[in-house]
Structure 1
Amino acid sequence: MTIKSFKVLSLLLAYPTVEIQAASCEFHDILAGEGLVPADCLPPLRALIEEYRTRELLDLQERYVLLFDRTRSLSLHLFEHVHGESRDRGQAMVDLKAMYEERGLAIESKELPDFIPLFLEFLSTLPKTEALDLLGQPAHVIAALGERLAKRESSYAAAMLALAAMAEADPKATEALLDEADDDPNDLEAIDAAWEAEQVTFGPGSPDDGCPRVAGMLDRLAAEVPPPDTAGKALDGSARNG
């Protein structure tokens, strides 16, 4: 049985596309109906979903890039916060990709397996107990991202903090991460200096990547929940990459 809440949260944390925007009218009902997300996390998530419905797509995309692509401390790649640039990061990527493939989730070679939306897509295919257990392993990273987003008064904090609540993130481990330096997204010179040491390949949320997994996630979500007319084009087989 598919866990639809993980799919919805995955799409909310992916690079915004017209397909996701069209499908967003279903998201709150899915989250509330499945009952996996704690009730007190639903109102902030409703606000994030409402932004998808009411804001211009270009505004949503610009905000996403500024937060997640230009702010290293908000990177949506889990191992960035755990291993940094150490050799352990590469092996962790290999191990995670192997786990995906063993369970039938094939990813393209250019996709980084620790990209949070991709990780959530994987969790959606697992039994509930196993999915929550795996979510608990990086929960402190997700909780720290939620706190950093909340400090910026970003509505994206709702998605991260909901995931952290679902997994019951360790407060001490979260605080340890929060003690590390946080980037200022408005300090463009510092951001450029932080990234220039390496060529960064972003995951499926990157605008350059074209969101190759978004259409697939929407298709699988549509198979579970018949969409209304307003979201039909976004959830049927004609959905294209953003």
Structure 2
Amino acid sequence: MSPLPASIPAIVRTRVRAAVRRPAPRTPEEDEARTLLLRLCSLLLQYPDTELAAARPVLTATVDALPASPAATHLAAFTTWFAGQEQEALEQHYVATFDLRRRSSLYLTYYLHGDTRRRGMALLTLNQRYRAAGWDIDGGELPDHLPVVLEFAALAGPGRGEAPLRQHRRGLELIHRALADADSPYRHVLAALFTLLPPPTEADRAAVDRLVTEGPPNEEVGLAPYGDYGHGEFAPPGTFVPPAPAPPTRVPPAPTSRTEGPR
């Protein structure tokens, strides 16, 4: 029998390395628990309107029933605070935390692309990803809003569903850092989410440090085709956006008896 080709050992080694990197298959029960955690994070990061505030007992009971884990501990710390606040205080804290501070905004493409044309394309691509999976967000929120991204991850599963979360890992890290610096209880929700994601690399940490000191890219022009920044498309919900100025009124010149040439 002829010897094996010399290339076979290299192929075997490559496949062995890939198998080592690949996570072990999860059981249906583990997948179900993962989906529940993603949905809880999505709900708890939404604006605490009357409906969400009324659901606090159900959310607290659901978190309390989770199996013991670091994620469950973080979510329990958050729901304890969440359940004990007046709704008005919750609303004020949410707006101050996520709408008035850019470092903890929940719009993920801002951290990757800033106010540049690439952000418009990123939003369009993300919306197309949702539609290809059979999911339409109905224009209620921008497709990069973190609660929307989390709900898609829960619906579509760990592969393609969680891909946007992995893509925006650095933005998530910056949000968590800002929440921790502000001592906001919402830091626990991000910490729970991180238990489902790969840990940040050294390159991720270095990139987050640069974002802290330099900020995202800035180019306040040409955000087509998804939207035109400055006219409300990228503003957080409820943010006042001044209307576009009306065109100037043209007053016809008074009649004259002499002919005037161009000026």
Q: CA deviation at 1:158?
A: 0.8
CA distance in structure 1 between the partners assigned to 2:37 and 2:92 by the alignment: 25
| Structure 2 CA distance for partners of 1:122 and 1:87, relative to 1, 3 Å | same
Q: CA deviation at 1:199?
A: 4.2
Which moves more between the two structures, 128-137 or 74-83?
128-137
- Code of the aligned partner of 2:211: E
Runs of 5+ consecutive residues of structure 2 not aligned to the other structure: 1-30, 215-228, 241-263
| Structure 2 CA distance for partners of 1:163 and 1:175, relative to 1, 3 Å | farther
Percentage identity across paired residues of the two chains: 25
Q: Is the 8 A contact 1:96 1:113 kept in 2?
A: yes
Q: CA deviation at 1:70?
A: 0.5
Q: Give the corresponding residue for 1:17.
A: 49
| Structure 2 CA distance for partners of 1:207 and 1:182, relative to 1, 3 Å | farther
User: Equivalences for 1:174-185 in 2 at 5 Å?
Assistant: 174-181=205-212
- Code of the aligned partner of 1:159: V
Tell whether 2:182 aligns with 1:162.
no
| Partner secondary structure for residue 170 of structure 1 | coil
CA distance in structure 2 between the partners assigned to 1:23 and 1:202 by the alignment: 29
Tell whether 2:225 aligns with 1:198.
no
Q: CA deviation at 1:132?
A: 4.1
Tell whether 2:151 aligns with 1:126.
no
- Code of the aligned partner of 1:56: E
Q: CA deviation at 1:42?
A: 2.4
Tell whether 2:153 aligns with 1:135.
no
Q: Residue 174 of structure 2 is aligned with which of 134, 144, 149?
A: 144
Higher RCO structure (Cα 8 Å, ≥6 apart)? 1
Q: Give the corresponding residue for 1:100.
A: 130
CA distance in structure 1 between the partners assigned to 2:152 and 2:187 by the alignment: 21
Q: CA deviation at 1:161?
A: 1.9
CA distance in structure 1 between the partners assigned to 2:128 and 2:159 by the alignment: 21
Runs of 5+ consecutive residues of structure 1 not aligned to the other structure: 184-196, 210-242
| Structure 2 CA distance for partners of 1:20 and 1:202, relative to 1, 3 Å | farther
Q: CA deviation at 1:160?
A: 1.1
| Partner secondary structure for residue 106 of structure 1 | coil
| Structure 2 CA distance for partners of 1:10 and 1:48, relative to 1, 3 Å | same
Pairs aligned (count): 193
Q: Is the 8 A contact 2:71 2:193 kept in 1?
A: no
Tell whether 2:144 aligns with 1:114.
yes
- Code of the aligned partner of 1:17: D
Alignment RMSD: 2.9
| Structure 2 CA distance for partners of 1:132 and 1:69, relative to 1, 3 Å | same
Q: CA deviation at 1:6?
A: 1.4
Structure whose CA Rg is larger:
2
CA distance in structure 1 between the partners assigned to 2:93 and 2:146 by the alignment: 18
CA distance in structure 1 between the partners assigned to 2:160 and 2:56 by the alignment: 27
- Code of the aligned partner of 2:49: T
TM-score, structure 2 normalization: 0.64
Q: Is the 8 A contact 2:56 2:83 kept in 1?
A: yes
Give the number of the structure whose residues are more often helix, by fraction: 1
TM-score, structure 1 normalization: 0.69
Q: Residue 6 of structure 1 is aligned with which of 24, 29, 38?
A: 38
Q: Is the 8 A contact 2:63 2:76 kept in 1?
A: no
Q: CA deviation at 1:154?
A: 0.7
| Partner secondary structure for residue 124 of structure 1 | helix
